[in-house]
Structure 1
Amino acid sequence: MSWCQRKRVKSSLLIEEGDMMLTNDLMRVRTKGKNIEPILLKNTPKYKGYAEQLVDLFLYAEKMALSRAEIVEVIRDLTALEVDHKILKGLSKIMLDRCEFIIPSLPLEDPPSSFELRMRVFQAAAQEGSFSQAPIEQRKSRNEILEYVCSELNLEDRNSEEKTSDNKEEGALDVLIQPKELEAALYADLKELHLLSNYNGPKEGDRLLERYNISMCQALLLRSTSVVVEIPFLDIKWLRFLFRYIKFHQLIYDISTDNECAIDEEHFSEMMSSEEGLSEDCSTKGMALTIKLDGPQSLFKQSTRYGMQLALFFPALVALPCSWTLNAEVLWGKKRKFRKKMTLSAQNNLKSHYKALGVWRSRAEEVFEDRYNEYYVKEQKAAESGKEQKKSSSALSSKKTRKKLKPKLWKLNRGRVVLGKGQQVFFPDFCFTHNNDSIFMEIVGFWRGGELKKKIKSAPKNYFFVVSKRLAGEAGKKIGAKEMERVVDFAEVISLPKVVKKLEDLG
C-alpha cells in the first residue's frame, strides 16, 4: 500500500470505533465462592515492557500509515510465543479501539470507490479478457486490462482538470495512475486494508496499563444487575462533576444521604488536609452519599446500550479524590446463571483517564466567601459587645432592647447534597446555618429562564440561586416575579447586602 503513502488521499472515509471494552475471551477474573474480582495488572517491569513495546508499534504504524492487517500480523507474532498472550491481546485490543482508519483512494480529482473500480475492471475483462467472447487475437491479458482501465481513469481526470484549469498552476505535472496502484485500490474497502491515520490511545506504557485495568472493570460492569456506589464527604464541586456524568449517560439512579455526616468548614479543612480526602469524623459515622444504579442485566430491552453507558460512567467515579466504594451484583458463566458479588474501591489504585472539568472555584465564589466571612466576624464581635453592654445597663433599657428583634447571624459553610422533589439532586455551593436551621445557596453559570424556573420549582423552600446577568441565555433572560423571590442577580461581584437580605427573607 506504499502507493497511497506517497500521494495525498483526497477522498477518504473515516472509521472511528470509539471506546470499547474487553471481550469475554480477554477478561481475567478471580472467583471465590460468591465473590468475583478482576485481575488487575501491576506496574511491574515485565508488564510495562509489554505496554511500551505495543506503544512503539502503534506510533510507528501511525507514522508509516500501516494497514490494519499489517498491525494485526505484528501483534500475532508478538503473542505467538508468549505465556501471557491474553494480556498482550487485551492491551492491543484497547489500542486498536482508539485508532482511526481511512479507506485509501486513488489520487484523482474525483476518485471512484473500490466497488466502482471493480465493476469497471470486471466489465473490461468480460468484454476483452482472456475468457471473453472476443476473437482470440483481440483478447487482452490481465495487465493489459489494468492498463486500459488506468488510461480511461487518467483521461477522465485530465478532462475534469481542464474545466478547472484557471486555478491550476503552470508547469504542474499530471499524476498518472499505474496498474499496480489500480490493483491495490480494487479491494481497499476491505477492513483489513484500511490504513491507520490517527492513534488516539495512550502514548506511554504506564497510561496503557492504567487504561487496561479500567477496561477490565468496565467489562464486568456490563454483566451487572445492580450497582451501589458509596461516597464519603466530598467537596460539592466533585459531586456535581460525578452527577454530570450520571445524567449525561442517562443512568437510572436512586440516591440517599447520611445527614449525620454534616458538611461544614471544619470538616472541609480536615478533608483537604487528608490524603484520601475523607475526614475522620465522617469515616466513623458512615458514608455521606449512597447512589444505587440499575445494571444493564436488570433491563428487558437495550441492555447492551445501557451497559455501555454504565461502563463509560465508571472512570468518572474513579476520578473522585475520596475513598469511594462500588458494590455490584454480576451475572457470571456462559449462560450468566451464577450471581457473583464484585467490590471495587479506591484501594484498588485505579487511575482514570477522564479530565476533572468544572471542579475549580470561580473568582466570584472566592471573593464572596472572603467578604461574607469578614462580615460574619464583624457582626459576631458586635453581638458579643452588645451582650456586655446589656449587663451594665438598667432593667428598663434592657426591656427596650429586647423588643428590637435583630436579624439572625448565619454562618457560612461549604455546600452539601440536597434532595428536591422527584429525586431531583441539588448541589449548593454554600450552606448558611443558624442553630438547627439551614439555607442553601447555589451559584448558577450559564442559564436559561425555562431551565431556571424548573430548578426553582423542584428546589426546597430554603434554597435560593445566585445568577449572573452576563451569563444569561438569549432564549431566557426574563424570569417571573414569583421566581425572582428565590433569585439574587449580580454582574461581576456577588452583592453581599442582597444575599444578607435574602437570608432574612428565607430565615
Structure 2
Amino acid sequence: MIQRYSGDSLIPKRLVLNEANRAIAAALISLFQTSVGDTQGSLDRQLQALEGEGTDYRLKRGLAHLLRNSFSTFEVVSPLEPQALRSRLFDLAALRAPSPKAAAVHVTQIAAQLSQELETVVEPSHIRQGLYADLKENRLLTAFEAPEPDALLHRYNLSQVQGLFYKASHVVLNVHRNDPGEYKLMFRYLKLFRLMTYIEGEADQGFTVTIDGPASLFKPSTRYGIDIAKLIPAILHVTRWNLTATLQWRDSYTQQTRPKTFTLTDCCGLVSHYPPGKPYDSMIEAAFVERWSKLKTDWRLEREVDLIPIPGSVMIPDFRLVHPDGRTYLLEIVGYWRPEYLRKKFSQVRQSNCDNLILAISERLNLEKAGVKLANTPARIVWFKHQLQPKAILNQLEATD
C-alpha cells in the first residue's frame, strides 16, 4: 500500500487509467494466461524478470498480487496425497542401496501400484510431479479468469483504499436519501461481515452508521480490519454517502502511532467488483414472487420497501403490498434461521411498533426452543410449511378490509 500525508489526513496513491498503465496490466494478464498449467514457482520467476530494474516494480508487484489472489486458482496436482506418496517411495528406497537406477525403478513400481489401486493410468512422470506438489512453488496454476486491463487497474485503486481500514479505530458512514434497495444491500453486507455497528436515522433523512474498527478492540484484529475493508466495495453501490475513518497509523520514520483521518465520498471514482445484489435473498422469496404473479388480485407486490428504523439498527421487510385505494402492508418472511437470529428478529418487530406488518413464519422453526414468544408482537402472523402460498397472504389482507 502506497500513501501520502496531508496534515493529519492520509491519501492513498491511485493509478491513472492511461495507456502506460494499461500496457503494464495487459502484459501481466497475458503472462498469467500463458502460465496456466505451469507451476507457481515458474510463474513467480517470470514475474520477477518482468519487474526488471525499473522504478515501477511496486506497481507490477501489486498488480501481480491481485491477479494471483483474486483471479487465479492454484492446486496441488498429484495422483496421491504428496505426503503419502513420499512415504511409499522412501519405504521402497530403504530396501535397496541408493542409486539413480534404483530410484527410477521405485518410481515406476509405485506408478504401476497406483494405476491398479486408482483404476486409472498413472505415469512415472505423474509420480515425480506429485512427490513435492504440496510445496507452494510446485502448485499448478489450473485456472485463470482474465480481467480487462481497466478492471485490474480499478481493483488496484480500490485495494489501496481498503488497506487503510486495517488500522481503523472508528468509522462513521453517512448515507443520505437513497433507493431502499441500496440500503438493503449495504445493511446485508454489514450483517454478512459481522461488523460491530450502531445505526441511527430513518429512510427519509438518511442513516448514520458507526462502526468500531479493529484498532478499537482490546486486542487488535487484522481479520476484523479485513472485514471492514470488504465493506467498501458494497458502499460503492449506494448513490449518496460520505465516510470518515479514524486510523491508528504508525509513522515509518518516527515509529510512533498517531491518529490519522481518511475521508471518502460517493464522488471518489472507485469501482466496485461486487455484484449489485441478488434479486431475492432465498428460494422461498423467489418462489413466492413467481406464484404471486399468477394471482388475480388488485394488490401489487413490490420488492423495494421502506426501511423501519429501530433503536440502534434498522429493519428492512422483504416486500411491500400496495392496493389501488392507498392501503399498504409490509411482508417479512421468516424462514430457517439460527436461534440468535430469531430472537433478534422478533425483538426488532416488537420495537418497530409497525401496525401494518405481516410476518410469514415457517412451521419448521422451533420458536419455543429459541426463546421466542409471539406475545406482544404487533405484526399479523401467517404460518407456512414448505412454501409460502400467496393466497394465505391475500386472505390476511382481505381480513383487514
TM-score bucket of the superposed structures, by smaller chain: 0.7 to 0.9
SS at match of 1:475: coil
**Count of residue pairs the alignment pairs up:** 369
> 1:316 is matched with which residue: 223, 228, 234?
234
> 1:331 is matched with which residue: 210, 223, 248?
248
Structure with the bigger percentage of strand: 2
Q: Which residue pairs with 2:97 in the alignment? A: 128
Q: Which residue pairs with 1:177 in the alignment? A: 124
Q: How does 1:392-431 map to 2 (within 5 A)?
A: 415-420=306-311, 423-428=312-317
Structure of higher CA gyration radius: 1
Shift of 1:123: 3.1
Question: Residue 199 of structure 2 contacts residue 313 of structure 2 at CA under 8 Å; is this kept in 1?
Answer: no
Question: Residue 78 of structure 2 contacts residue 129 of structure 2 at CA under 8 Å; is this kept in 1?
Answer: no
Q: Which residue pairs with 1:246 in the alignment? A: 190
1:250-278 deviation line (CA, Å, top 9, x unaligned): 11111111x5xx73xxxxxxxxxxxxxxx
Structure with the bigger percentage of helix: 1
Residues 158, 493 of structure 1: alpha-carbon distance in 2 compared, 3 angstrom cutoff: closer
CA RMSD of aligned residues (A): 3.8
Q: Which runs of 5+ in 2 are unaligned?
A: 281-285, 383-387
Shift of 1:156: 3.0
SS at match of 2:73: strand
Q: Which residue pairs with 1:85 in the alignment? A: 57
Q: Which residue pairs with 2:224 in the alignment? A: 306
Q: How does 1:11-160 map to 2 (within 5 A)?
A: 27-62=1-36, 65-98=37-70, 99-106=72-79, 113=84, 115-116=86-87, 119-120=90-91, 123=94, 127-129=96-98, 141-142=99-100, 144-157=101-114, 160=117
Question: Residue 443 of structure 1 contacts residue 466 of structure 1 at CA under 8 Å; is this kept in 2?
Answer: yes
Letter in 2 for 1:474: R
Question: Residue 43 of structure 1 contacts residue 206 of structure 1 at CA under 8 Å; is this kept in 2?
Answer: yes
> 2:276 is matched with which residue: 334, 351, 356?
356
Letter in 2 for 1:492: P
Give me the whole-angstrom Cα distance separating, in 1, the residues matched to 2:307 and 2:19: 43
Identity %: 22
Q: Which runs of 5+ in 1 are unaligned?
A: 1-26, 130-140, 169-173, 264-286, 374-412, 433-438
Q: Which residue pairs with 2:140 in the alignment? A: 195
1:260-301 deviation line (CA, Å, top 9, x unaligned): xx73xxxxxxxxxxxxxxxxxxxxxxx611101011111122
Q: Which residue pairs with 1:214 in the alignment? A: 158
**1:486 is aligned to 2:396:** no
Give me the whole-angstrom Cα distance separating, in 2, the residues matched to 1:327 and 1:149: 64
Shift of 1:47: 1.3
Question: Residue 448 of structure 1 contacts residue 477 of structure 1 at CA under 8 Å; is this kept in 2?
Answer: no
1:372-406 deviation line (CA, Å, top 9, x unaligned): 69xxxxxxxxxxxxxxxxxxxxxxxxxxxxxxxxx
SS at match of 1:330: strand
SS at match of 1:216: helix
Shift of 1:42: 2.4
Question: Residue 115 of structure 2 contacts residue 122 of structure 2 at CA under 8 Å; is this kept in 1?
Answer: no
Q: How does 1:456-471 map to 2 (within 5 A)?
A: 456-459=346-349, 460-468=352-360
Residues 366, 149 of structure 1: alpha-carbon distance in 2 compared, 3 angstrom cutoff: closer
What TM-score does the superposition give when structure 2 sets the normalisation length?
Answer: 0.78
SS at match of 2:390: coil
Give me the whole-angstrom Cα distance separating, in 1, the residues matched to 2:212 and 2:76: 40
SS at match of 2:94: helix
Shift of 1:246: 0.9
Question: Residue 231 of structure 1 contacts residue 290 of structure 1 at CA under 8 Å; is this kept in 2?
Answer: yes
Give me the whole-angstrom Cα distance separating, in 1, the residues matched to 2:85 and 2:377: 63
> 2:331 is matched with which residue: 443, 459, 471?
443
Give me the whole-angstrom Cα distance separating, in 2, the residues matched to 1:105 and 1:31: 49
Residues 463, 295 of structure 1: alpha-carbon distance in 2 compared, 3 angstrom cutoff: farther
What TM-score does the superposition give when structure 1 sets the normalisation length?
Answer: 0.63
1:443-489 deviation line (CA, Å, top 9, x unaligned): 223525976675344332234433457xx363359997746751254
1:422-458 deviation line (CA, Å, top 9, x unaligned): x3421245599xxxxxx98532235259766753443
SS at match of 2:233: helix
SS at match of 2:267: helix
Residues 206, 198 of structure 1: alpha-carbon distance in 2 compared, 3 angstrom cutoff: same
Give me the whole-angstrom Cα distance separating, in 2, the residues matched to 1:319 and 1:83: 35
